Chain A
Amino acid sequence: VSNNTHPLKGLVVRAVQQSDGPAIAALLEQPKAFVSDHWGPKSSLEEHIKNSVLAFSLSEGESEALFLFVLEEAGEVSGVLGLSTLIGTTQPRYHFRAGKRVHQSHALSVYRDIDLLLLGNDCTGSTELCLFAVGQKSSLAVQGAALIEGVFEFARLNPNLLGQRLIAELPGLNGNSSKSEFWLGLGDRFIPQELKHESVGVLVELLPRTPIYLPFLSPEVRSVIGLVSCEQSDFRSFLESNGLYFQDMIRPEDGGGVLEVLWRQVIPEFNRTRNLNDRPETNSQAKFRFECS
């Protein structure tokens, strides 16, 4: 493929502007738009954009911030991608981590490996891909890839803003609702009747913090761990083709898998120099603009 005919040529990824509101709202209406549970209600889009514009101009990176990127194609906005940074540093974020214990008895010739789930806050300080949508006439392979390329360029320029790791929480089967087999078979067992009306995301705080033995869970629950709802299966493949992968983290709300990658695994020169407590040295990125070539 010669440079002249490269499919990404002419696509621009740039920092969001307040005027992008209607275009983004339209993109989020797409049936396959990905919106993280932690994004908040739809009505807050304007607020999010305002915060993001501010985040780009301050670029301090000391607390949770939202960076929204849009894809421009011949002057039209045809894609949006959101990064939440430093997640879990003001409000704890919970995930199960899948582990294993081997129990062996020589005397009885028994060897069992037992799967466990341990509730923790392992994503604290990571960056979450919290929003992603491309327009009806766009494709993940072209417009989606352009967005990712632009965002990776942003990451390369701003390692100090983004933590070590990029994650994306994908909804599980019958995601995040009282219909989720995973929630009903695990989390829900620990919730007293009078609290069952509360939202699942909040109820996670009440789950035990020592390992849960999977053999105590029903086969139905065990079989949905790490599965992703059908609506997001294309998106999952897309993320995987861009280097994110499911390792061992699971959404407590519905058993959905968390895809993750260390920035330095996808951006070789990503060099994060700052500890969480250091002063940031990043310049304003309000004019961030990346032209695909």
Chain B
Amino acid sequence: MLVRPCTLEDIDAFERLAFDSPVGMTSLPLDRRNLEVRLRASQSAFAKVEEQGCGEESHFLFAVEDHKGNVLGVSGLMANTGINAPYYNLRRDRTYQVSSSLQKHVAHSALQLCGDNSGKTLLNSFFVDENSRTPELMNLLSRARILFMKQFEDRFQNDVIVEFIGITDENQESPFWNAVGLPFFDMEYDQAEQYFATLSPTFIAELMPPFPIYENLLSESARQVIGKHSMDYDDQLQIALAEGFQYSNFFNFFDAGPCLSGPRRLLKSHQNAGEISLISAQADYQEKYLVSNLKGTDFRCLLVDGLMDAEGALSVSPENLEALGLDPGDRAMGVVL
């Protein structure tokens, strides 16, 4: 298994994954031309990562492939949200109303459309073939992005967020959308997601309610799914929690799926990763490591069996060294799985 930057040649695999992914995965729209644009933008982001400072949107797309080169999944990393298009969330606010006659106060909980998460780094576009979702692959594909960020630290923001698809019912309808979105957008959930994936998201600002949406007024079925994630994404969510991401007051505005956030430097993979030198040696390997080279366009990240010596050099197999595009003695980024 190997993680590498997506290229334009991945378009067929990319389209297949987009077809299989849920409608709420708006960074993987069912639109080949749109996917091509995304692949080109990603290629350009990788090509420029070594010289470019922080500030552009830079949406990196990573592919994970098996030893035959079949693409099994994709993940994304956006250096800065809100650059090319506004980045919207719902934020849960609590306000007090006080009655001076009763000498009592009550708290009202309301959702407010906001751009608070604009200018943060975003993990997104995560989708893996249903039959390939092993814990090892999911970890590799998810955490490779954090090794990549560590390597090009000054390209990324201190705050990292990751959104998870919310709950839909057996008819692919979102109870939250039906309560909140439908009256304002006059269209079904999947239609709205499709528009969002392919059009400029300014229509959100045009149609979404600008005032607080009081949760007390919403139907029980809508309230129950606020901040709840689709079970299809439970593995990924558990990885994020183990990584140190935490639930926040932010939710997706279509399906109210949760938005987790974490300070980049406190994420486990970031904290535990370090630069190591690699030795090509058959050895009595002790542990599994995530190892990545230090390159941009030729970025590779592998899950390897390795043995760390006292000087901090990691012995890996010659095949793995070759897959990383490295020679013995080269530096790499490594972290225990």
Contact = CB atoms under 8 A, between A and B. Distances in A.
Contact of A216 (B101, B102, B179, B210): B179
Contact of B203 (A108, A195, A205, A209): A108
B104 A112 contact: no
A206 B106 contact: yes
Interface stretch (A76-84, A132-140, A185-193, A270-278): A185-193
B37 interface: no
B84 interface: no
Interface stretch (B11-19, B24-32, B92-100, B266-274): B92-100
A112 B184 contact: yes
Contacts of B195: 108
A206 B97 contact: yes
Contacts of A192: 106
A136 to B, nearest CB: 38
A210 B203 contact: no
B187 interface: yes
Nearest to A217: B217
Interface in A149-206: 186, 189-192, 195, 198, 202-203, 205-206
Contacts of B179: 216
Range class of the B interface residue count: 35 or more
A192 B203 CA distance: 36
Given A190-B106, A192-B106, A216-B218, A110 B207 contact: yes
B82 interface: no
A107 B102 contact: no
Interface of A: 101, 103-105, 107-108, 110, 112, 114, 116, 186, 189-192, 195, 198, 202-203, 205-213, 215-217
Given A114-B183, A198-B102, 7 more contacts: A103-B207, A105-B207, A190-B97, A190-B216, A191-B106, A202-B99, A205-B98
14 contacts: A104-B207, A107-B202, A110-B185, A112-B183, A191-B106, A202-B99, A203-B102, A205-B99, A206-B97, A206-B98, A207-B97, A210-B211, A212-B214, A213-B211
Interface of B: 95, 97-102, 104-106, 108, 110, 179-180, 183-187, 195, 199-200, 202-203, 206-214, 216-218
